[in-house]
Structure 1
């Protein structure tokens, strides 16, 4: 088996990320666990794609491969970004830095000058509607506010500090730990920010309603070993999202029950 990982910048090859025949095996011999097998997936620049599946189906593993945190066992991963940004369930802010300095961090690591990175960080905090909280440290912010700071920091990383829009944002169930009201609010905010920034998003969730609300396209993974079993285009003319929610829920239950009987 062969595996390739290709990271490009501004090549305009038509995809923000593309996986072709990707498999991932952990361990060796009889103890080996196959997490993913034969995954084909393409995300266009500026597209919002939701990766849906039951717990343990390999969603996070796939995201780690795209992020460059791991390598596939076989297949090819092509990413049109030298450094896609990742957002997790926990905001992982540095507690000794205030909000604006947390957002500045990826710009500072990229060598962006002080005045330019402060201007960009301030712009992004305004974008996530936290302009008045720039000097507050994480412990002074609510859970939802901390996630918005984390989102601003991720957006700073996608642009590499040059002020350009676009890039690739990988989101691993970023709202799962929040209460229902805060989660609903942040889903709406994410939609607004995505439209404003034209960032390609690959969003992982096991929540069907969240997937249908956010995504232009929903991709369903089978239970382990994960592979793509179905896709839905939610932007298609005449698409009824309530009906699609029921259809996708039924297909997800079928995938789970099939795995349980195996």
Structure 2
């Protein structure tokens, strides 16, 4: 997918700051994310990378500044595979759709597509403990991909179809080291979307 720099952003951070009680995490974050764009959030442990993702997906409100979203159809994949250990892969992926009372045929179609996309279709009958760590993370990604668009009204850009935006927290233990500079926003890098193999 080609990113159009003239297209209004899906999520905009404006002078966003975050603190937990008297402990500041960062401040002065300005960031625009557009449809089809891949943005990497980079920084040492404790600088607020996961907090930025939680803010962008609406799971947390900022302490200062503003966040504007043109959609609330945002998927979030946590650092750890948040799977229910007693449910099979398929039943885990189905769960959010069932809670959302998605029609059975639509749920089946979405779950099948999500599992196929991450290469877990043939492992859908297994329990999380029977999967490798990477497979569990892919199952978690399938959960985010299978949910339905929101039923409550939002204000999408006129004439533009809604698309699910993925926000991914870095894997546990992947941070490069302890934080040394409090209140400095994490760095962001942009890369072109990957090209699907032919």
Q: Do they fold alike, i.e. is TM over 0.5?
A: yes
Alpha-carbon distance in 2 for matches of 1:92, 1:67: 17
Which residue matches 2:122?
A: 132
Q: CA 1:82–1:233 in structure 2 vs 1: closer, same or farther (change >3 Å)?
A: closer
Alignment of 1:149 with 2:105, yes or no, is no
Aligned pair partner of 1:64 in 50, 54, 58: 54
Q: Within 5 Å, give how 1:71-90 maps onto structure 2.
A: 71-90=61-80
Aligned pair partner of 1:19 in 13, 20, 33: 13
Secondary structure of 1:95's counterpart equals coil
Aligned pair partner of 1:109 in 93, 99, 102: 99
Alpha-carbon distance in 2 for matches of 1:50, 1:114: 36
Q: CA 1:135–1:41 in structure 2 vs 1: closer, same or farther (change >3 Å)?
A: same
Question: 4+ residue runs of structure 1 moved beyond 4 angstroms?
Answer: 230-235
Which residue matches 1:39?
A: 29
Alpha-carbon distance in 2 for matches of 1:227, 1:137: 39
**More RCO (CA 8 Å, sep 6+):** 2
Secondary structure of 2:111's counterpart equals helix
Consecutive unaligned residues of structure 2, counting only runs of 5 or more, are 1-6, 152-160, 193-198
Alpha-carbon distance in 2 for matches of 1:168, 1:44: 10
Q: CA 1:118–1:49 in structure 2 vs 1: closer, same or farther (change >3 Å)?
A: same
**Structure with greater helix percent:** 1
Aligned length: 176
Report the CA distance between 1:222 and its aligned residue: 8.7
Which residue matches 2:163?
A: 166
Consecutive unaligned residues of structure 1, counting only runs of 5 or more, are 1-12, 178-204, 208-220, 236-262
Which residue matches 2:181?
A: 223
TM-score scaled to structure 1, two decimals?
0.60
Contact 2:40 2:189 in 1 (8 A): no
Alignment of 1:100 with 2:90, yes or no, is yes
Q: CA 1:120–1:25 in structure 2 vs 1: closer, same or farther (change >3 Å)?
A: same
Q: CA 1:233–1:172 in structure 2 vs 1: closer, same or farther (change >3 Å)?
A: closer
How large is the RMSD of aligned CA atoms in angstroms?
A: 2.7
User: For 1:71-114, what per-residue CA distance to the aligned partner results, in whole angstroms no more than 9, with x for missing partners?
Assistant: 11111111233242211221110112111111111212222112
